């Protein structure tokens, strides 16, 4: 019988929070069970194992990122939307590095997979940004990949302490936003 107060959503939320604290690579079922005050086998009543837990954390992170970015860009267009999305994405990755790491390299198993649904929500948030630019249909995928690469690269490098030189990181981020805006306007 499952422990009172525990359900899949609670286990996944606790796993995501723990991943943010210790890093996704250090998240184990045993560590999560300890955090929740249960024995490890009790977790298998709620998630199918480490891989299932990581996939559920990835879906949660994609939904949370989509909500944050979608809310940030609402009512904005062009550079303002781009800037709002960039800041929101960066803040999400810096605040939630473990759960964001779960989203990298994970693929939906089918169109009804929660990962596919959550990924589509994030995709829609970034498409809202691109609507403020005149981008030809054949170039939309390239523009989306460019934005993801820029935002992901900057945020994950910053999160990992990858910017150790003296130039202000926020100033570099502003430069990145201006660079992306110029690039999107010239397409």
User: 3-class SS at 16?
Assistant: helix
For residue 144, is it within any domain? yes
Find the domain containing 113 and state its range.
57-185
According to the model, what pLDDT value does residue 3 have?
A: 55
pLDDT in tens, 11-62: 999 999 999 999 999 999 999 999 999 999 999 999 999 999 999 999 999 9
According to the model, what pLDDT value does residue 160 have?
A: 93
For residue 51, is it within any domain? no
Q: How many residues does the chain have?
A: 187
pLDDT in tens, 53-108: 999 999 999 999 999 999 999 999 999 999 999 999 999 999 999 999 999 999 99
> Is residue 140 within 8 Å of 130, Cβ to Cβ?
yes
For residue 121, is it within any domain? yes
For residue 118, the domain's CATH number is 1.10.357.10
According to the model, what pLDDT value does residue 120 have?
A: 95
Residue 5 has pLDDT above 90, yes or no: no
- How far apart are the C-alpha atoms of 177 and 187, rounded to whole Å? 16
For residue 168, is it within any domain? yes
- For 109-174, the DSSP string reads SSTTSHHHHHHHHHHHHHHHHHTTS---GGGHHHHHHHHHHHHHHHHHHHHTT---SSS-HHHHHH
* Number of domains observed in the structure of the chain: 1
For residue 71, is it within any domain? yes
Q: How far apart are the first and last CA of the chain?
A: 59
């Amino acid at each position: 019988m499952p422990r009172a107060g525990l359900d899949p959503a609670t286990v996944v939320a606790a796993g995501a929070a723990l991943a943010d604290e210790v890093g996704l690579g250090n998240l184990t079922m045993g560590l999560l069970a300890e955090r929740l005050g249960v024995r490890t086998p009790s977790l298998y009543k709620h998630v199918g194992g480490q891989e299932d837990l990581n996939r559920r954390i990835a879906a949660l992170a994609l939904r949370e990122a989509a909500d944050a970015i979608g809310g940030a860009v609402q009512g904005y267009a062009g550079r303002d939307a781009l800037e709002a999305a960039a800041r929101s994405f960066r803040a999400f990755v810096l605040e939630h590095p473990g759960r964001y790491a779960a989203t990298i390299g994970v693929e939906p198993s089918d169109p009804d997979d929660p990962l596919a649904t959550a990924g589509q929500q994030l995709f829609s948030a970034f498409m809202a940004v691109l609507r403020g630019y005149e981008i030809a249909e054949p170039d939309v995928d390239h523009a989306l990949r460019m934005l993801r690469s820029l935002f992901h690269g900057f945020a994950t490098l910053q999160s990992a302490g990858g910017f150790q030189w003296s130039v202000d990181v926020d100033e570099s981020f502003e430069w990145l936003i201006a660079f992306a805006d110029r690039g999107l306007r010239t397409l």
